[in-house]
């Protein structure tokens, strides 16, 4: 604890400091039995601390907004991984960095040390706005209308700790692409922004095409267009209004239906846009000007550096340059892509990697959604030396983001949800490509992605060829074996249009390499010249591929090894637990009342800081949590905040007329009808206090009659 306090002294942000102190206090209360375990889980998830498959170990997810990281930040994370975790940096498909095998009790100290280099864990997991992702080539993309990096940074900062997204029904994801090629895969996000420039009165006006309602998981959905052009100062107000709608009307009981995509499907785009407009008056800002200088130009190497190591393999260098090196929009500079198997770099290697970056590239590393890294502002004269030194670290493998660069989630290695091994399957498939189809190292169309379960953390839902972990039962001997569900036809085409992959067939996991062989040979034999794989899949149709692969699903001729998962030596069995990706929903009266009282205190604190919109939203949550507490206590099931208000009117309306009048719903929803002024905040907070006092009286009276 003394070390933890010492680390806090090095911080200069009292909000962050208090956040870390609160986490430490809650851990202590959890150990003492003073916090319900499910409630504690939701608290730690919102602070980036996620339970691992291995009991007693935590995965800590580090938020890297739009994947941008400095050399010093990489070094800091490497040191943290060595001191507190398993000594590995795992890059994710949302541009985060994960550290595994961390003790829960050490997470406050770990967090305090990260914050010394402006790195946060806050809201990296849980029912919040997750890491804001962005095109890793933003700022250097020759096709971009403008650099979206400062816009992604502004959205990240605006919603960090924002009251409107601290206890939503499910997680919420936002992305920024750099061009119409959809380099930020907007079509699978709750909100995806694609930059555009429009001429108005002879002047260039910046704005964004806005896509909403996308998502992967077991029931994927492609986003729909909300705006063809939304001016830049409106993107944050729009996002806030949409989040308010999602918070109020989104599902909260059935977790599998609680993402925004389901709300959009249920009520339609027109109704969603109408509800967004109804929220507009309550926003603290109707126009949010983005500081385009918020992400400064990175420091460049002072001189062109050269390695004293000889280039041993000119042919390999030429291939690497062809597949991993691209000209920037800044003349004379190149960005360099670093392929990292499974996204894993050991801490010691990360330090050596940082040394190399400092010599040859800008102090601006970008984590990519395919679990690699991009270096920027490399001079052509430095490329050979850069390659030579990267090759010494096994970080100069050609074929970045090609067919040979397979994405895989952590799967059964560490995740509770993993059904069958994904990381080992990825390595096996890469071996097949390297040995039998080496020409595919230059193919940037066919993407292979693997997840350990249906939730698509490995993005199998948008793969040209995707696999997710599953199981099969041999009907003859009743034994269970590891399997993979094969999905085909997903991805982004040359015009930037996105497609969701379709489920085709389930096969034993050990047959995955044969699936690849059959599909590659079929495509080579039957595709038209220049035909993209997604187009080929749609032309042939799902049943064509089912018939093509059907023989691999046969369980009549299995051998003993088919019943053992990749990388294992024992008979396979399904071992999954409840996942923590979306947090949990708490239906205990005491816990809900604790939340209501906590929100009431937060409302007063925000008011004292002149954060009136925040104070009003905290007060709104006092009403919601107090109502839900009474409804739960009476055994009334509720799914949404809107449903809570309606049910409360029906069940308790007469008990609260003296406080809220004839309609509780109308009383609470005045939040949408008033500007967030000081006077309105003061009034609404006072009414929330009076309401909460009445909740306690009613509950006490009901308890006496039981």
Burial profile 464-474: b = 16 or more Cβ within 10 angstroms, e = fewer: bbbbbbbbbee
Residue 579: pLDDT band by 50, 70, 90 thresholds? low
pLDDT at residue number 536: 94
Query: Which of the pair, 555 or 674, is modelled with greater confidence?
Result: 674
Residue 292: pLDDT band by 50, 70, 90 thresholds? very high
Supply 517's token pair: 């062989």
Res 621 pLDDT > 60: yes
- Dihedral Cα 425, 431, 432, 433, nearest 10 deg: 110
pLDDT at residue number 414: 65
Structural domains of the chain in order of their starting residue, each with its CATH number: 2-115 (3.90.480.20), 133-282 (3.30.413.10), 314-392 (3.30.70.3340), 407-563 (3.30.413.10), 589-705 (1.20.120.330)
Mean pLDDT for 96-102 is 95
Closest by CA position to 414, among listed 309, 519, 342, 306: 342
Mean pLDDT for 149-155 is 97
* pLDDT tens-digit series, residues 360-388: 999 999 999 999 999 999 999 999 999 99
pLDDT at residue number 80: 97
Supply 63's token pair: 């938020």
* pLDDT tens-digit series, residues 668-697: 999 999 999 999 999 999 999 999 999 999
Among 14-28, 348-362, 427-441, name the most confident range: 348-362
Residues in the chain: 706
Res 421 pLDDT > 80: no
SS3 per-residue string spanning 627-691 = HHHHHHHHCCCCCCHHHHHHHHHHHHHHHHHHHHCCCHHHHHHHHHCCCCCHHHHHHHHHHHHHH
Residue 584: pLDDT band by 50, 70, 90 thresholds? very low
Contact 258, 251 (CB under 8 A): yes
pLDDT at residue number 299: 86
Rounded (5°) CA angle 630-634-638: 75
Neighbours of 446 (CB within 10 A): 21
Residue 103: pLDDT band by 50, 70, 90 thresholds? very high
pLDDT at residue number 2: 52
Looking only at Cα atoms, what is the longest distance across the chain? 86
pLDDT at residue number 582: 46
Mean pLDDT for 54-71 is 93
* pLDDT tens-digit series, residues 315-333: 999 999 999 999 999 999 9
pLDDT at residue number 189: 96
Res 303 pLDDT > 90: no
Mean pLDDT for 561-582 is 69
Res 408 pLDDT > 90: no
* pLDDT tens-digit series, residues 174-200: 999 999 999 999 999 999 999 999 998
* pLDDT tens-digit series, residues 485-541: 999 999 988 788 889 999 999 999 999 999 999 999 999 999 999 899 999 999 999
Neighbours of 157 (CB within 10 A): 14
* pLDDT tens-digit series, residues 219-260: 899 999 999 999 999 999 999 999 999 999 999 877 778 899
pLDDT at residue number 705: 65
pLDDT at residue number 422: 77
Contact 187, 175 (CB under 8 A): no
Query: Which of the pair, 331 or 309, is modelled with greater confidence?
Result: 331
Query: Which of the pair, 560 or 372, is modelled with greater confidence?
Result: 372
Q: What percent of the chain has pLDDT over 90?
A: 69
Supply 681's token pair: 């905040």
Residue 273: pLDDT band by 50, 70, 90 thresholds? very high
Q: What are phi and psi of 346, to 5 degrees?
A: -65, 155
Res 602 pLDDT > 80: yes
The CA distance from 89 to 103, in Å, is 16
The CA distance from 377 to 220, in Å, is 37
The CA distance from 5 to 157, in Å, is 26
Among 4-13, 29-38, 84-93, 559-568, name the most confident range: 84-93
pLDDT at residue number 37: 81
Residue 580: pLDDT band by 50, 70, 90 thresholds? low
Q: What are phi and psi of 473, to 5 degrees?
A: -115, 130
With left for phi above 0 and alpha for psi between -120 and 50, is residue 611 left, alpha or beta? beta
Mean pLDDT for 540-567 is 90
Among 214-218, 375-379, 578-582, 690-694, whose mean pLDDT is lowest? 578-582
Residue 97: pLDDT band by 50, 70, 90 thresholds? very high
Res 586 pLDDT > 60: no
Closest by CA position to 136, among listed 467, 493, 386, 375: 375
Residue 304: pLDDT band by 50, 70, 90 thresholds? confident
Please state, rounded to an integer, the average pLDDT across all residues of the chain.
91
């Amino acid at each position: 604890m003394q070390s933890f306090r010492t680390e806090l002294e090095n911080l200069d942000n009292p909000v962050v400091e208090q956040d870390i102190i609160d986490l430490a206090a809650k851990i202590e209360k959890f150990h003492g039995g003073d916090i319900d375990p499910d409630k504690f889980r939701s608290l730690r998830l919102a602070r980036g601390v996620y339970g691992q498959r291995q009991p007693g170990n935590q995965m800590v997810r580090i938020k890297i907004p739009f994947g941008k990281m400095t050399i010093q930040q990489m070094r800091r994370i490497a040191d943290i991984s060595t001191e507190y975790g398993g000594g590995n940096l795992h890059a994710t498909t949302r541009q985060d960095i994960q550290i595994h095998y961390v003790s829960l009790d050490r997470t406050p100290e770990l967090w305090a040390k990260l914050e010394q280099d402006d790195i946060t864990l806050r809201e990296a997991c849980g029912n919040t706005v997750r890491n804001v992702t962005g095109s890793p080539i933003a700022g250097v993309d020759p096709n971009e209308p403008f650099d979206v990096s400062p816009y992604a940074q502004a959205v990240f900062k605006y919603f960090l700790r924002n009251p409107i997204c601290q206890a939503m029904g499910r997680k919420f994801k936002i992305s920024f692409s750099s061009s119409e090629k959809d380099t930020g895969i907007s079509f699978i996000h709750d909100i995806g922004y694609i930059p555009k420039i429009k001429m108005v009165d002879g002047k260039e006006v910046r704005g964004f095409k806005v896509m909403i309602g996308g998502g992967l998981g077991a029931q994927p959905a492609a986003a729909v267009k909300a705006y063809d052009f939304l001016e830049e100062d409106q993107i944050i107000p729009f996002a806030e209004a949409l989040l308010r709608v999602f918070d109020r009307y989104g599902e909260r009981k059935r977790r599998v239906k609680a993402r925004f995509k389901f709300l959009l499907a249920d009520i339609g785009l027109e109704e969603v846009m109408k509800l967004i407009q109804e929220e507009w008056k309550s926003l603290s800002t109707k126009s949010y000007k983005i500081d385009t200088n918020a992400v400064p130009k990175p420091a460049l190497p002072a001189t062109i550096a050269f390695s004293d190591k000889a280039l041993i393999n000119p042919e390999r260098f030429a291939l690497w340059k062809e597949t991993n090196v691209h000209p920037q929009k800044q003349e004379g500079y190149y960005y360099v892509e670093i392929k990292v198997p499974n996204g894993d770099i050991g801490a010691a290697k990360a330090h050596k990697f940082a040394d190399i970056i400092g010599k040859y590239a800008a102090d601006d590393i970008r984590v990519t959604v395919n679990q690699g890294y991009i270096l920027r502002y490399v001079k052509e004269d430095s490329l050979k030396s850069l390659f030579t030194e990267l090759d010494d670290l096994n970080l100069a493998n050609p074929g970045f983001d090609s067919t040979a660069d397979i994405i895989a989630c952590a799967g059964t290695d560490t995740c509770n949800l993993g059904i069958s091994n994904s990381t080992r399957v990825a390595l096996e498939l890469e071996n097949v490509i390297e040995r039998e189809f080496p020409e595919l190292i230059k193919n940037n169309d066919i993407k292979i992605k693997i997840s350990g379960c249906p939730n698509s953390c490995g993005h199998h839902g948008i793969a040209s060829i995707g696999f997710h972990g599953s199981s099969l039962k041999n009907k003859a001997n009743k034994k269970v074996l590891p399997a993979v569900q094969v999905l085909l036809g997903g991805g982004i085409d040359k015009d930037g249009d996105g497609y969701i992959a379709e489920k085709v067939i389930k096969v034993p996991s050990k047959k995955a390499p044969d699936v690849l062989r059959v599909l590659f040979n079929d495509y080579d034999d039957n595709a038209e010249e220049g035909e993209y794989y997604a187009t080929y899949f749609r032309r042939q149709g799902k049943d064509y591929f089912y018939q093509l692969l059907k023989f691999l699903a046969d369980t009549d001729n299995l051998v003993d090894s088919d019943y053992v998962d990749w990388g294992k030596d024992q008979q396979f069995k399904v071992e999954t637990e409840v996942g923590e990706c979306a947090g949990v929903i708490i239906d205990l009266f005491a816990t809900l009342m604790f939340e209501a009282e906590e929100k009431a205190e937060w409302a007063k604190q925000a008011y004292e800081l002149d954060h009136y919109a925040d104070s009003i939203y905290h007060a709104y949550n006092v009403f919601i949590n107090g109502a839900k507490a009474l409804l739960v206590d009476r055994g009334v099931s509720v799914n949404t905040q809107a449903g809570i208000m309606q049910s409360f009117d029906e069940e308790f309306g007469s008990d609260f007329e003296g406080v809220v009048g004839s309609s509780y719903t109308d009383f609470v929803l005045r939040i949408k009808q008033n500007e967030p002024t000081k006077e309105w905040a003061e009034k609404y907070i006072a009414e929330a206090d009076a309401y909460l006092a009445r909740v306690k009286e009613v509950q006490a009276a009901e308890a006496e009659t039981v």
